[in-house]
Structure 1
Amino acid sequence: MKPSAGFLLLAVLLLAAVRFAQARIIHSYFKLGSTLVLKPASVSARITSVVWKWDGELLAEWVEDVIPLTYYGRFGGRSEVNTNTGVLEIRNMTAADTGVYSVEINNQPQSQTHQAVRIREVPQPEVTVRPPMCGSSLENCTLSCDGDVKEAEPVEYFWKIGDGEWEQSGKIMEIINWEETQCVKMFSCRMKNPVSERRSESITNPSQQTTRNGATDCECRTNPAARSDIRVRF
C-alpha cells in the first residue's frame, strides 16, 4: 500500500519543523572598530576543511593539502581563521559587516549561524528621582537609571544600595520609605551591554532623614544589622 499524498506532505512538514528547531541563531554584538570573534560548534573529528560565508557569500576557505587558507573581498587583510578550531576573527568591524555568518566544517554546514549586530556603547547613566520633591514625608519614591540607549540595546541594569553589592534588576527602582530604607546614604546605577558598561554618579538618598544639626537621624548608625531590612522594589 502506497502512502497517501497527505501523509507524505505531513512527513515533509515534520522534517522541516525538526530542522528549523535544530537551527540556532547566535546574536554576536560588536561596536565599530572592534574585533568580532565567531566560534563554530565543536566537532568530534579532526578538522580538515573550513568554509566561512557572510550573507551567503564566500568569506574564507581552507581545505587541508588542497586549498590554502584564503580570504575574499573586503575581509582580506583583517580576518583570521584558526584551522584547528574553525574560529573566525574579524578586526576593525564596520557597519557594512552586519549580517549572517555561517560555517561549514569538514564539508558539513553547521545548523547554528551568527547574526552580527552593530550596537553603540551605553551612555553615562544618571539616576533620576521621581517625584522631584521626593522626601521622607512621602510613602515611596522612584529612582530611574536614565540615558539614551538608542542603538545600544540590549541593555542590562544594576543598582547599588548604600555600600552593598551591585544587584541586577530593571531600569526602575522604587524606594519604600520605611525607617530602615532611610538609613541608606547613597544610590547609584550601572548600565551594561555586550560591548560596554558605565556607572552613574552616586546620589544622596532622597528619603533620608536628618536632625536639625544635619546629622543622619537613623537607627542604623548604632544597629548595622537593621541594614538587612532595606525596602526597595524593582
Structure 2
Amino acid sequence: MFDIISTTFPISEKKVFGLRGGSIVLQAEQVTRVISIIWKHNKDKAAEWFEGDDAPTYYNIFTSVTTLDTQTWALTISNLQTHFSGKYSAEVNNKDPTQFVTLTVLGPVSKPAITMDCINDSNCTLTCKGKKDGLTTYTWANGIEKWPGPELTVERIDHDVVYTCNFSNPVSWASSQGTVKKYLPPPPDPGQKK
C-alpha cells in the first residue's frame, strides 16, 4: 500500500487601498528563480514576462501606467483610477497563484463642514458632514481627548474650546474646526433684590 501525500499551499488574500492619481506597488510571492510571470487584474492579463524576453508586455488599461520590475517582480501602477480596482494575482513559473491582493482606489475626502446647535446655555451639539463613500470615518478631538462619530455633544465651560473634526478614508483625511464659546451666565435682573 502507498500513502498519497498531497501538498496544498495556503492562499492568502490582502486588501490594499490606493489614492486616485497616486501609485501603488504590488509584490509577487518570492521564488528563487523566475522563468515566467503573469500579473492578472481580475481574470485579465495586466503584464507578463517570459525568460528570454527583452522587456515585459503590458495589456489594455495597463499599457502606459504600469511597470514590472524584472528583479523584484513587483508591479507598479501609476496614475491610479477607479477602474484599476479589483483583484490582482501573479502566476509565477506557470503555477496557480497563492496570493491575491484586492485593490480599492479611492478619491480624497472632502473638507468637512461643521454646524453647531446650542440647545441651551450649557450644551452644544457639533455636527460634522463630509461626502461619504462607505469607507469614511469621523473623529472629533479637542487636543486632549478623542471621540468617534459625526456628532459630538459638549458642555459649555468657562473658556472657549476648539473642536476639530477629522474626516478620513484609508488614503486621505481632511479636517475642520469649530469653537464652542465659553458659557456666560445671564446678567442679574436689575429688578431683583440681592
| Matches for 1:159-170 after TM superposition, within 5 Å | 159-161=140-142, 164=143, 167=146, 169-170=148-149
| Matches for 1:147-158 after TM superposition, within 5 Å | 147-149=130-132, 152-158=133-139
Identity %: 26
**CA separation of 1:86/1:78 partners in 2, compared to 1, >3 Å: closer, same or farther?**
same
Amino acid at match of 1:153: G
**CA separation of 1:183/1:91 partners in 2, compared to 1, >3 Å: closer, same or farther?**
same
Matching residue of 1:171: 150
**CA separation of 1:38/1:212 partners in 2, compared to 1, >3 Å: closer, same or farther?**
same
Give 3-state SS (helix, strand or coil) of 1:154's partner: coil
Structure 2 CA distance, aligned partners of 1:30 and 1:185? Answer: 33
Q: Once the 2 structures are TM-superposed, how far is the Cα of residue 198 of structure 1 from its aligned partner?
A: 0.9
Amino acid at match of 2:169: N
| Matches for 1:60-75 after TM superposition, within 5 Å | 60-65=47-52, 68-75=55-62
Does residue 36 (structure 1) correspond to residue 12 (structure 2)? The answer is: no
After superposition, give the CA deviation of every residue in 1:94-123 in whole Å (9 maximum; x if it has no partner): 343332221123443333322233333211
Contact 1:157 1:169 in 2 (8 A): yes
Structure 2 CA distance, aligned partners of 1:159 and 1:80? Answer: 40
**CA separation of 1:142/1:212 partners in 2, compared to 1, >3 Å: closer, same or farther?**
closer
After superposition, give the CA deviation of every residue in 1:136-166 in whole Å (9 maximum; x if it has no partner): 434xx432221221xx3312323221xx268
Does residue 210 (structure 1) correspond to residue 190 (structure 2)? The answer is: no
After superposition, give the CA deviation of every residue in 1:42-98 in whole Å (9 maximum; x if it has no partner): x25354432201121111112333574221223112210122222211222334333
- Per the normalisation by structure 2, the TM-score is 0.73
Question: Greater relative contact order (Cα 8 A, min sep 6): structure 1 or 2?
Answer: 2
Answer with 51-60 or 182-191: which moved more. 182-191
Contact 1:156 1:168 in 2 (8 A): no
Structure 1 CA distance, aligned partners of 2:114 and 2:167? Answer: 11
Q: Which runs of 5+ in 2 are unaligned?
A: 1-6, 188-194
**CA separation of 1:110/1:128 partners in 2, compared to 1, >3 Å: closer, same or farther?**
farther
Structure 2 CA distance, aligned partners of 1:85 and 1:50? Answer: 11
- Per the normalisation by structure 1, the TM-score is 0.63
| Matches for 1:93-108 after TM superposition, within 5 Å | 93-108=80-95
Q: Which runs of 5+ in 1 are unaligned?
A: 1-14, 214-234
Contact 2:128 2:165 in 1 (8 A): yes
